[in-house]
Amino acid sequence: MSSILLLTSSPRAESLSTPIAVDLAEKLKSQNPGSVVVRRDLAANPLPHIDDLFTGAIRKPAEARTAEETAAVKTSDELVNELLAADTIVISTGLINFNIYSSLKTWIDNVARAGLTFKYTESGPVGLATGKKVYVVLASGGVYSQGPAAPLNHAVPYLKSVLGFLGISDIETIYVEGLAFGPEAAEKAIDAAKSRVQEIALAA
C-alpha cells in the first residue's frame, strides 16, 4: 500500500500553499487506489520544539533511555516512522522571512535522527530515508524561482540540503509566487500551480 505524507505548515486561514498541497495529495491518492494520505497539519497541531531532554535522549540507544527520555522521543519516533513509510511526501510552506514556516522546521528537527533517518559512516553521513518523491509547494509574495531575488530563497536550497542529507533527492518545487504583485499576478500564479498539480496527478 502506498503512503502519501502530507505536511502543511501555514497558520493562515487564507493560506495559499495549503489548499494546493491538499489538492495534490488528494489527486495522487485518487490516481493510486488503495493509497493512504497521512496528514500532519503542523500549524494547527504544532510539534514540540526539541529541548535538552530530547537532544540528550536521541544520542543514547533506545534501551539506555530513562522513562522520561523515552517519552521525550515518542512523538519524534512516530514522525520518523511516518516519514520512512511514505512513498510520496507533499510539503507546503510559505516563504517566511526568506525561509520556511518554523512549524515545518520543527518537524525537520524531529525527524533528523542519527541511526534512523541518517547514519554516520567512515566515508561520511548516509541518508536512510531513500526511495521517496517529494513535492514542495512554496507560496511567496515575491518571485524567487528565478531573477534578482533568487539568492534570497533560502527555503528551497535548505529543504533540498536537509532532505538530501536524509537520503531524499527527488524533489520538485511548485512555486506559487509573486502573490504580492497584485490580484492579476496572484491569480496567474495560483492557476500555474494548479495546472502543474493537474499534470503531476495525470502522470502519477
Ligand X SMILES: Cc1cc2nc3c(=O)[nH]c(=O)nc-3n(C[C@H](O)[C@H](O)[C@H](O)COP(=O)(O)O)c2cc1C
List interacting residues with ligand X (CB under 6 A).
10, 12, 15-18, 94-98, 139-142, 179
Give least dist CB 193 to ligand X, A: 11
Give least dist CB 135 to ligand X, A: 15
10 is annotated as contributing to ligand binding: yes
Rounded-to-integer distance, Cα 200 and Cα 204, Å: 6
Q: Which is nearer to ligand X, 16 or 159 (CB)?
A: 16
Residue nearest to ligand X (CB): 94
DSSP state of 176: E
Rg of the chain taking only CA atoms, in angstroms: 18
Q: Which is nearer to ligand X, 80 or 95 (CB)?
A: 95
Rounded-to-integer distance, Cα 43 and Cα 153, Å: 22
Q: Which is nearer to ligand X, 3 or 18 (CB)?
A: 18
30 is annotated as contributing to ligand binding: no
Task: Please check whether residue 18 is in contact with residue 91, taking contact to mean a CB–CB distance below 8 angstroms.
Answer: no
102 is annotated as contributing to ligand binding: no
Q: Which is nearer to ligand X, 129 or 159 (CB)?
A: 159
Give least dist CB 13 to ligand X, A: 9
Q: Among positive and negative, which fits the CA dihedral 80, 84, 85, 91?
A: positive
Give least dist CB 64 to ligand X, A: 41
Judge residue 124's burial from the number of C-beta atoms within 10 Å of its C-beta, 0-12 exposed, 13-18 middle, 19 or more buried: exposed
15 is annotated as contributing to ligand binding: yes
Residue with grid cell 512513498, as numbered in its chain: 87
Q: Give the residue ranges of the annotated binding site for FMN.
A: 10, 15-17
